[in-house]
Structure 1
Amino acid sequence: MVVELGLQEAQPQVKGSGLSAPRGHSKNGPHSRGLAMKRPKKGFKGWMQSAVLGFVQLWTTILGLDGKPIISEIIISVLVCVPVSIACSYWVWAGGIHWDNTLHVMMGAALGFLLVFRLQTAYNRFWEARGHVEQAIQSCRSIAVLVITQYHRHYGEPGIEVPKCVDDIRRYIMMYFFCMIYQLIDVDVRQKAIEELLTQQELQLLLRTPRARAITCVKWVAARLAHLEALGYMAPLQLHETNEGLQGMISAFNGLTKIKTTPTPFAIRQLCSVLAVVYVYFAPLALANEFSNILDQYWSVMLRTMLSSVLLGFAILGMNQTASVLEDPWRNSESDLPLVKIGAKLNEELLNLFAEPIPPLARFPPNFTPHPRPSP
């Protein structure tokens, strides 16, 4: 898909001259008063609407309606607590067996420390991945802005290859981003988003590379930038400035693939999971012992033990499963890290950036000062 580059500057027609002040400027110049907009006050209806939306958003998040719910991944493990609670309650109440809770309390402290440590480590991985995605987007934008502004500066000069080179850079930048995210979420590269950007020859060249196809796209971007410099549409110093963006693209890809291919140490994952399961399934015994000391009826002991065990299971197993989810930011779920949506928005942004014209210079009055004194 080739985009018609918006190279001509916008020329608004005005009364008396060929150019006028930019939109939003008044007769007294761009710094005239009266442009500030007051924020409307939120009445009772607005507050009620915000409250209802907040309530709906809360329960949408709790029930997992806007993503994969964490409850669905631990519900079976938590429901196992129900028969265990019934058995432990009957054993303690009917047999008169008393269980010392000291070991369970000490184990809970150690497990809490380990779960917090695993959650913090997993969130650091997720946050690092988000930072690398941001670095990739920033690098793509910096190269695109530099290229398109240079193209506007040389508009009207001869050069048949230049428009093709500029549009190729836009396409290769988006190919880099889509190839990178498809590799991260384990999706085949032959998707509609990439096929719309490629020619058949480019697709065949890309498929020859078994891995690191995003780096191949970076190489193509660098080749087009060098060709623009050879054509004289980019100074050597400006070509050198694009190296920072290219290095950022490579660095982001390396960081993301490092997180993808280097899992959290198995010993930590195994220890946290084993201790969580042991703690949750032995909790009904300790809870039944405590409730039997203050209650005489079996049903009272059993119901309280079962409810407490289920809530404890949701808390402990939920924390462990949340850490497991955060350790892999590339699960194909748009509620975790919406890479596909981010790529689509970046593609739309670059299309607008390369197609929209540059506004004309504003005509200021002779007595205009760039920094007027504020009015008293």
Structure 2
Amino acid sequence: MRDRKNSISKKNIELTNMKRAIKSSFVLAVILPFLMLAYGLTSWNDNGLKIAFMIGAVILEIIQISYCVVLYIQVRNDEFETFKILYMSYYVITVIMLMLASGSDMKVFDSEILYIIACAYFIFVPIVNEKDRLIIIIAMSVIMVTMVLIFRMDVRYVIDVCLIQILTMFVSRYQHNINLRHEKMNNSLRKKTDYSEHDPLTGLFNRRGLESRANAIWPYCERNKVSVGILALDIDYFKKYNDAYGHPQGDECLKQVARVLRESAQRSTDVVTRTGGEEFIIFVQDTDEHNIVQLALKIRRNLEAAKIPHAYKAISNYVTVSIGAATFVPGYGKDFDKLYENADKALYAAKNNGRNCIVYEGNLYGRIKNGIAQVISM
């Protein structure tokens, strides 16, 4: 459990790093090239140096924008776990570029402002562990001291670099601890929300989680005339199942049914919920009669394939479900409660008509022959 918590926290930190990298890349892509151009055009009379600085500014712009685009794509596709090297390389390259700009700043303008900005960037933007932070600080020091010696600058710059790097080390460590505490606090809040909105037995959303997601989705669907639907499900004769096998085995049955529902409703917008006891709800959007009935039939097929034994063989040797389905486009008089009410009525109709079937809009979908649902008008 501890390893899982640490991995979640680490994952959140990596996502934070990628988002910070995107923001800083965009800012630096705008600021640094113009700054380098200004230095190049105002500091040297040598046209060759001016051209070199202009080329450097263009290269810097391309690098920053490229990183910005690629990192954004990775975050959008939730691939930050795979591309940790990408954003870490971004930070390293950016710090090196800032160091080179800082050396020019010291040489031309006798200024250490850019160097301090570079150190501040390293302190406040990336969240890095102790080992990586030490490596980067040493690398920054070596680069700057080397530039001081190559440019034959005053020895005081060596002393200044060392002092600034020592200060950077302590401040970055302090900032790192603040970032970690912030991430841990956010992680704790996320877990509390997660626990309050999920059923502890099956891991599915509970009624509170269903309401939270429905409230978030509903305005969009109403505004854009997107249809919504509910499948209301009951495990058939679950009380008899518990009487025959006992409640611990009944809990295992609920877990297996929940897994079938989760594997059947796989769209990212599908909300699979256990509302209590043997009752489940699947809330979907952008659906119609055909799609929601097909989803219900898919659940029946997958549950049949699971072959969960049932001692009460009135309708099957295995666990089955009755399903009530309802859909409409949200509007006046058509709210979530009305949709749920329609699905609940359809569920009771399914239970009153032999169970192990699906009811939608007065039609009962029973056994499947040759892949075709048998429909009986009610």
TM-score between both structures, scaled by the size of structure 1: 0.28
The structure with higher relative contact order (CA 8 Å, sep 6+) is 1
Name the one with the larger strand percent. 2
TM-score (norm 2): 0.28
